[in-house]
Amino acid sequence: MSKVLNSAVLSDQLIQFKGVTVRYSRREWLFVGGAIIALVLMSLYLLTVGSFPLTFEKLFAVLLGQTNEPIAERIVWNIRLPKVVTALFVGIALGVSGAVFQSVSKNALGSPDIIGFTTGAASGALIQIIVFQNSAQAVMLSAVLGGMVTAVVVYLLSRKHGVVGGYRLILIGIGIGSILNALNGLMLVKGNLDQAVIANLWLAGSLNARNWNHAIPVMIGVFIIVPIVIYKARTLHLLEMGDDMAAQIGVSVERERLVMTFLSVALAALAVAAAGPIGFIALSAPQLVIRILRVGHIPVAASAVMGAGLLLVADMVSQTKPFGFNLPIGQLTSLVGGAYLLWLLTRSKSF
């Protein structure tokens, strides 16, 4: 028994700062630290590969401003670095968004791409591209608004007797997502051919041609929202235990669920706005972390770095054989995500 207690003490610690007590898992933060090192190494590698390969020596010279090669500087600062930064922060946003949704719904299928919020963000972007104008800022804003409006509709329809049920939220979200998918297809068919081609490319989900206009908004959103979610991680863990248990401990269940859903939708919408619809990441990152760390709750910080890592790995794979070209990242992740979803459903005892 003493060994078990000692293990629990070693794995969970308390930090007190200015009257605020925060519990953290040492195992989780060791995982996060190792993952951050891996993310840095993968990012540096991605900055060197492409049609204009660079050595690490030349890369560091460019990053430190110690070279006079305009072409190399332009490639690193204007093409590859914005793409890598976009991938990192889109992955973080999707990983955290998936963790929050799965905690709120208490279901492994609780993911913005399954529930339909990602599709809603895509619908907002499509309306902007096809009906109005194709400016990056306008498309990103429309994607965020589309995701938010979809979330409000799904949330209101999911309420029954003043309570939002997890399964009800998922099923209604799937239904709304199907309707939006049909409307998206209709817009592509009926829209101007040139605009429809642009919209279709955007719908594939891609990190190609990303610039700082795509990277900065999602970066700012992550820096603002993710610390709030991590701070409220204890509330998420209580919601995972059930509404009755959380309410007995003093959690305002519906208010906290609404706040966390709003934050999660904002992250998912920003990710879609920056890179288009990218599946699998939000769905799988939290579940992979649970299996690696062997914990009974969904760790938010670990889900964030896992999401970033999955997206960087997918980007690396898309640039290597047998593809031989920059495959749209959304197509690759959707392919893997479909297989993962089938595996999850066959292994789950709830379906």
331 assigned to some structural domain: no
13 assigned to some structural domain: no
21 assigned to some structural domain: no
238 contacts 177 by C-beta, under 8 angstroms: no
CA–CA dist 126, 66 (Å, integer): 43
E-strand ranges in 11-166 read 12-17, 20-25, 159-160, 163-164
89 contacts 215 by C-beta, under 8 angstroms: yes
337 assigned to some structural domain: no
Q: Are strands 20-25 and 163-164 parallel, antiparallel or unpaired?
A: unpaired
The pTM for the full model equals: 0.89
Indicate which CATH number applies to the domain containing 167: 1.10.3470.10
What number of residues does the chain have?
A: 351
- Please tell me the total count of domains within the chain: 1
CA-angle at 316, arms to 315 and 317, nearest 5°: 90
12 assigned to some structural domain: no
146 assigned to some structural domain: yes
3 assigned to some structural domain: no
16 assigned to some structural domain: no
* Domain ranges, residue 177: 35-318
- pLDDT in 10s for each residue of the chain, 351 residues: 333 333 333 345 555 544 444 556 788 889 999 999 999 999 999 999 988 999 999 999 999 989 889 999 999 999 999 999 999 999 999 999 999 999 988 888 888 988 899 999 999 999 998 888 777 788 889 999 999 999 999 988 988 766 677 778 888 999 999 999 999 999 888 878 888 888 888 888 889 889 999 999 999 999 999 999 999 988 888 888 888 888 888 888 888 988 999 999 999 999 999 999 998 899 999 999 998 998 888 999 999 999 999 999 999 888 775 655 567 788 888 878 777 777 777 776 655
